[in-house]
Structures are given as structure tokens and as C-alpha cells.
Amino acid sequence: MSGTKHNWTKEDILGIYNKPLMELLYEAAIVHRLNHDPNVVQVSTLLSIKTGGCSEDCGYCPQAARYHTNIEGNDLMSVQQVKAQALRAKARGSSRVCMGAAWRNVKDGVEFDAVLEMVRTINKLDMEVCCTLGMITENQAQRLAEAGLYAYNHNLDASEAYYKKIISTRGYQDRLDTIANVRKTNVTVCSGGIIGMGENIEDRAGMLVALSTLNPQPESTPINALVAVEGTPLEDEKPVSIWDMIRMVATTRIVMPKTQIRLSAGRTQMSREGQAMCFFAGANSVFAGDKLLTTPNPDVNEDIEMFELLGLNLQKPFTKKDQPQTVEAQASQFKSLGEKPKWTRPTHKIERNERANKKG
């Protein structure tokens, strides 16, 4: 991404975030127009291919086994089920399928082989395929690339400092290492975060420093508003204000001009007018599907109506980058090397995570 600035500081970013709103919107809208067609929206459909029962303690997540949430868990879906869902998403205007698994990290074996088959299958439907499976090694990233993966979603989620207050079972460096592993392949990087977890504006700026100083910057960045799920440590967090969401999107657009910015979790709380302001401020993608992974999302038909109302056209698959080739002949080259990844387990305690664990 030549011409993109990679040395944003927290002060720069705070200066942008705190501008008078009309100035911020105007500036972001100009950057948006210089780098994207403002009348196009990209739609990704989420598919939870393995739900719940996760070993991690992410304070926001209803899928962590240790919290007492009311979600329906599921083992890994079959390739046939995934294909049927992908075809349904394609018929409803989606250019990308994003498959999520409630895993800490990918383990080699039959389940990963099945995911590779899912990737090959969706790529052959001429759709962009994204996966979010937790931490992955370089070898696993290569095998996903060979199968035809278009994007890998791995969020930084927070600033490094605030991350420690939300998650204790893995470290920030693990997130960065996974992103670096994806970068060694031709798979694009999708990485963003969550607002509304009790962080302050400095923490938000810190997260944007971490994302915008990646070189190259992520090709796509989801901005999630926390969905505060009962039973999780963050269940009592107040819904994020739409003005904060608009400021966050606009600031992200200015510091990451070429990135596709995706309105993600939290859209059921946002009015059409609020979402329209986000699109004006530089958002140009959404996660669609009647469900996110486990929580509600706007109805697909309502989204289609909203796009018509706003004059937003659907982006076709592979507009930004060519379709990856599925390299069947060479797949053996990337068979498991028996790598022993050294993902960390920090030892600090997060009181509200422990409290939510004990509550029953």
C-alpha cells in the first residue's frame, strides 16, 4: 500500500478522534472518496462452523466455556452444510463467507483438514472465503492459502494495555504473531476490534495505533460494538453510543485509507440513520446473516432495503484482489510439519472474569 502512512502516534489519532464532529466527518468522507467508491458496500456472511465450548477467558465472548451463557454449542459443521449456507448467502448478495470457530488455536488433524475442504468448496463457488479460527502457525496459514483462502480474520480487539484487562489466557504478541504468519502468504489480513468494553478514548486510539502501524495495513478492519451477553464478565457494560461508533469509523478511515471498514457486531442497536452516518464516515462493509456467531444481527432483507434506500451497490467478489487459485497438486508440500507452536499463557488474574466463572 504505497503512500499510506504507517507511523501514526496516539497523539495524532486522539487529535483526529476529538475533532469537532462536522470536521471529522468531512475529512473522513474525503479520504473515503479518494480511495473507494462511496456508493459500494461489501457484504460478508458469518457462519459459525464450530460454536461454544471454548477454552479461553475472553471477557466479551459468550462462547467461552467457563462463563454461564445460554448459547447452543455445536461441533464442527459438515462440508455439505457449509456449502448449502454459502450458496444461500451468495443468492442474497454476499460476496464473502466468513467461517468462525470457537477455538483458541488451530490444531492439525481431521478437523483442520475438514476446514481446508470447506475453504476449497466455497472458493469454487466463486466467493471470497474468510476464516477466523484463532491462532495459526505459518504452516497452517500456507495450507489455508493453498486451499484458496482469501482472508483471515484475527482481531487485535483492544489496545495492548486494555487487552490485559479482558483476556488472561493468551497474550497480545500471539495475536500479532498470527497476523504476521498470515502475512507471509497471499491471504489478506482482516483485523479490527471491539468498542464498548469499558475502555477509554486513549485505549481506542492505542488499538488504532496497533492496527495502523502494521505494514501493510490490514485489507479489512471490523469495528465491533460490544454485544453485552448475560453471563459474560462484560454483561453490564452500557451499549456504545452511536456518536462513538461514528467517531471510531471516521478515525479508522483517516488512518487506514485503503482498508475496507466493516460494521460488525452491534448493528441491531443502531438505527438506519446511525448506520448511514457510519457509511458516510467511511464504513464500506457489513457482516450480514440472520445471526452473527451466536447473537442476533439485522434481518438480511432489512439490510437489502437499507442499501437500496442509501443507494449502496453490492461489491462483487474479487473486486479488490484476484481469486486465489486452489493449488491441489502441491498440497502435499504443505502437509503438517509437526510444528510445536509456542503460544503463551499469561498468568495475571482478571477479577471480573473469575467472578463470572464462579457465578453459576
Residues annotated catalytic, as ranges = 54, 58, 61, 98, 130, 190, 262
Q: Minimum distance from CB of 223 to ligand SAM (Å)?
A: 10
Cα 142 to Cα 184: distance, rounded to the nearest angstrom: 8
127 binds, among ligand DTB, ligand SAM, ligand SF4, none (CB under 5 to 8 A by kind): none
CB of 15 to ligand SAM, least distance (A): 26
**In whole angstroms, how close is the CB of 234 to ligand SF4 at the nearest point?**
12
Residue 264 as a binder of ligand SF4 (CB under 6 A): the answer is no
The end-to-end CA distance of the chain, in Å, is 49
Question: Toward ligand SAM, which CB reaches closer, 13 or 64?
Answer: 64
Alpha carbons 314 and 282: distance in angstroms, whole number: 16
**Rounded-to-integer distance, Cα 158 and Cα 201, Å:** 11
d(CA 148, CA 129): 8
The owner of cell 510439519 is 337
Stretch that binds ligand SAM, among 31-39, 152-160, 208-216, 283-291 (CB under 6 A): 152-160
Torsion sign (Cα): 112, 117, 118, 120: positive
Residue number, 24 or 256, with CB nearest to ligand DTB: 256
Cβ(200)–Cβ(163) below 8 Å:
no
- Bridging pattern class, strands 313-314 and 220-225: unpaired
Answer yes or no whether residue 102 interacts with ligand SF4 by CB under 6 A: yes
Instruction: Rank residues 100 and 257 by Cβ distance to ligand DTB and give the closer one.
Output: 100
**Residues 251, 208 contacting (CB under 8 angstroms):** yes
Based on the shown chain and the rule CB under 6 A, indicate whether residue 147 belongs to the binding site for ligand SF4.
Answer: no
Per CB under 6 A, the list member of 14, 61, 158, 248 interacting with ligand SF4 is 61
- Which region among 34-42, 57-65, 218-226, 248-256 touches ligand SF4 (by CB under 6 A)? 57-65
Listed residue (191, 195, 194) closest to 216, CA to CA: 191
Give the list of residues 6+ apart from residue 178 with CB closer than 8 angstroms, or none: 135, 136, 154
Q: Which residues bind ligand SF4 (CB under 6 A)?
A: 54, 56, 58, 61, 63-64, 102, 104, 134
Q: Which residues bind ligand SAM (CB under 6 A)?
A: 60-61, 63, 100, 102-103, 132, 134, 154-155, 157, 194, 224, 226-227, 229, 265, 293
